[in-house]
Chains A and B, each alone.
Chain A
């Protein structure tokens, strides 16, 4: 058995007590983790480290004998990442084991400087590697969190709303990229089938910029809807966007575009043979388009 394993296993209780004591004073976030939980984690980790150093590969943390220590560290880091610890806190959890461990090594190997240096170096190397595992696990948990949130954002940002019997609206917020277009297209077409809607209004008020790629994605969606027998109207074209579209030479001539969602809705109502009239009959008008025209003439 090597020196390090012998020292750790002989002084296990002492090291653990000093470790927890040191951590409680310096890094423990009492608001995030309880003392009992910390005790339990420290005990389990130290046990796993003892098992690791006693094995045939005392410093190789990627060996099979370190499996339990690795898994333990990964689960601790993952839970801490979710609890809101910083990566520094998580790494310090392992690194703070150095002080009590070194103290024990010094006590045991007082006589021989060479031995002491060798053992301290082995211990440092080991703990640094373990600390790196915690950081890696912490990052992995965070990455996972970000990916999940991105996915949720993507799903949340493409609602299809029914405005009227047979008329759908699809307000798009944010930039349209390929993956987003796919999602928008799918949810729009599914809803068209489910609600048997002949008209779909795609509102691009919330799209910050329209370049050739975005236009191409929009045209794809419109073509797919047309193939199914639904008609698309684009609304919410802001003046700057209209200028950009013309400057870029994007051909939107086959598509009906309107400045406002209300204009597009009025057109869809008109095309589906509906009229909107005022209840009190003060200014009852025959159809929504003529109301718009009258408003403009005033």
Chain B
């Protein structure tokens, strides 16, 4: 069965979607990512969708779900490299993915992810009661 690889880079996870997504593959990916985050204790997930050319509402919701699930598991998620046609399609479908961080390229996404992870860690420290 085909699978989308979830690569581990230190405390981060790197996912590159190179094939057209179908519903089963999307659910499999969702399982894999959540499993890996909890296995490795990852603090960030970078999803590169620059080769993804066709989306539907299910895939759109899956992207939003993965971001939300990662947050619940204590990891920040960034989606990078969305194609113009994909962005237009999602907007026309009424999915603005409000909770999802986005970046233009893997490089910019990595930077954003690092700062988000650092901010999350700082935020946790800030939340601790002052003694």
A residues contacting B by CB (< 8 A) are: 182, 185-186, 189-190, 192-193, 196-198, 220, 223-230
Contacts and interface: CB of A to CB of B under 8 A. Distances in A.
B62 to A, nearest CB: 14
Contacts of B97: 227
Nearest to A227: B87
Mostly helix, strand, loop or mixed at chain A's interface?
A: helix
B84 interface: yes
B58 to A, nearest CB: 16
Contacts of B105: 196, 229
Contacts of A229: 79-82, 102-105, 108-109
Interface of B: 79-84, 86-88, 90-92, 96-97, 100, 102-105, 108-109
Mostly helix, strand, loop or mixed at chain B's interface?
A: mixed
Given A190-B84, A196-B104, 5 more contacts: A197-B104, A224-B90, A224-B91, A227-B97, A229-B102
Given A223-B91, A229-B108, A230-B104, A193 B96 contact: no
Contacts of A224: 84, 87-88, 90-91
B59 to A, nearest CB: 13
A74 B82 CA distance: 50
Contacts of B109: 229
A229 B109 CA distance: 9
A227 B80 contact: no
Contacts of A226: 96, 102
Nearest to A230: B104
Contacts of A185: 88
